[in-house]
Structure 1
């Protein structure tokens, strides 16, 4: 059972960091009133405005921000400004013992998936897969429902995903229970063969991605299959795959055909269509929390991520 971070309260300070690529600073500024509207104070990480090519400053700078926000007793939660690429570059230097001693809310997705897996498996902490400030909150299309999902940080309540949000399709029926793990498929795949390889045994696996053609999703799922990540999984939650249209290949399988090839013969529940990922609304979830996927009722129930 992973440690749950303490819930946030009005008046708390949250740290904002850019663990991967440089965020759009204009969008970031537009997002800050939303955080302040939740009753939270803001502390900016030092590397948020730094740039080193496609990285928000050097690996040392980004790692220092991550460490300092977890160590700072004034900071009660950490929200990522954006994703992109680069979190994995320093993952092997993270002080997981220190994070374990200072459990707090950690929120982001996309490239942050690598940090979710690392922190979950080595610091035993529940973390949150949810929209980020510059990438999502600061944009005009940010959905009210996406904003409401931040409420789960302020009190322990169960999350219930039903077809009221968006249509769901069961590829395999039945029900399964386990910790919810995963996130961005590209980042799950990039951890295979490293000490940060995702443990899916007895877990509900969440996958989502963006800008990957069907053949690329196929290739990633095949690597997960050959790494035996589907053999003892308790269920599969297929989130949003934005812009997954074939571009290079005139003749292509559809994304649905790819999912059928990899999942329809599994003996555990598999459901697709969840608005989790690079989409609006974006249903935020606590990774490492206990979940129940019911493919017959087309529901996903997740226990609270904070205490």
Structure 2
């Protein structure tokens, strides 16, 4: 894996919108926070464009993405928000450009598609974390969400246990492997594409929002049928943001669905991590070595910068 260089005070951070269009007032608040930390901020040329539910055309969003990676004065690239749209241009990304200009790349939700594509095509460690025009611009941003940004300033091992949130073990044991994954619906949408998620001997992070239990069931079943679940070393269940099912009376719960598909695999599975569409949002590097101890309910993650 290629581990990106850490950030230093005065460095320039590029901000792009590869999926949905951001609220520019909220984006300004997020950028002001970066400036308060001592960074310069450069916005993508097309960041305020709108094309329906997209932040401009595929060509405009891809151009900003490429430009930020090509500019060596930009030391990190942070996404303004998620939404939808990254998969629309993934097959036109210049992965040689990214490989030759590796740097910090940060975001989550729809950005999961880019995390997977970049890691598997370039071998670059990326970061699953809160974004500027959504999470980090809220009036009551939890301190932990901001504190975890410090992992970009120096190599820092992360440890997650029940001091941060209640955790539940669906199956015990210890597993080690590269940490991969992210938004469940985006992982499933990669199946059958050149960017199909590789779960072999990996610790797989799963989170999602706005999906009824039957939808989570459908997506996990898809991963089961194609053999992905059997390949993984273990599973880290982040926030499955509650969305009441229309079939409330006869619906299975999220917990029942997840236990059905993951609890019977004989692999370590722990749920309850504050990773995903939640506050606080515990940011993590993807592509680094990690260890999950399901018996002790602890997760260790290696540094994502050098």
C-alpha distance in structure 2 between counterparts of 1:51 and 1:271, whole Å: 40
Encode CA deviations 1:139-174: one digit per residue, 9 max, x unaligned.
Answer: 113211000010000000100001111000000000
Match of 2:42 in 1: 43
Q: Secondary structure at the match of 1:230?
A: helix
Counterpart mapping for 1:127-142 below 5 A: 127-142=126-141
Q: Secondary structure at the match of 2:134?
A: helix
1:47 CA drift (Å) = 1.6
C-alpha distance in structure 1 between counterparts of 2:243 and 2:169, whole Å: 20
C-alpha distance in structure 2 between counterparts of 1:233 and 1:225, whole Å: 11
Q: What is the number of residues matched between the two proteins?
A: 306
Q: Secondary structure at the match of 2:230?
A: coil
Match of 2:70 in 1: 71
Stretches of structure 2 that go unaligned for 5 or more consecutive residues are none
Encode CA deviations 1:36-71: one digit per residue, 9 max, x unaligned.
Answer: 122111000012100000000000000000000000
Aligned residues of 1:270 and 1:295 also touching (Cα < 8 A) = yes
C-alpha distance in structure 1 between counterparts of 2:202 and 2:140, whole Å: 33
The TM-score normalised by the length of structure 1 is 0.98
2:156 corresponds to 1:144: no
Match of 1:273 in 2: 272
Q: Structure 1 stretches (4+) deviating beyond 3 angstroms?
A: none
Encode CA deviations 1:191-233: one digit per residue, 9 max, x unaligned.
Answer: 0011111000010000000000000000000001111111121
Match of 1:82 in 2: 81
Match of 1:175 in 2: 174
1:248 CA drift (Å) = 4.5
Match of 1:119 in 2: 118
Aligned residues of 1:244 and 1:255 also touching (Cα < 8 A) = no
Stretches of structure 1 that go unaligned for 5 or more consecutive residues are none
Q: Secondary structure at the match of 1:63?
A: helix
Match of 1:26 in 2: 25
Q: Secondary structure at the match of 1:271?
A: strand
Match of 1:214 in 2: 213
1:243 CA drift (Å) = 2.2
C-alpha distance in structure 2 between counterparts of 1:144 and 1:133, whole Å: 15
Q: Secondary structure at the match of 1:133?
A: coil
Q: 1:66 to 1:158 in 2, by over 3 A?
A: same
Q: CA RMSD in A?
A: 0.8
C-alpha distance in structure 1 between counterparts of 2:72 and 2:172, whole Å: 46
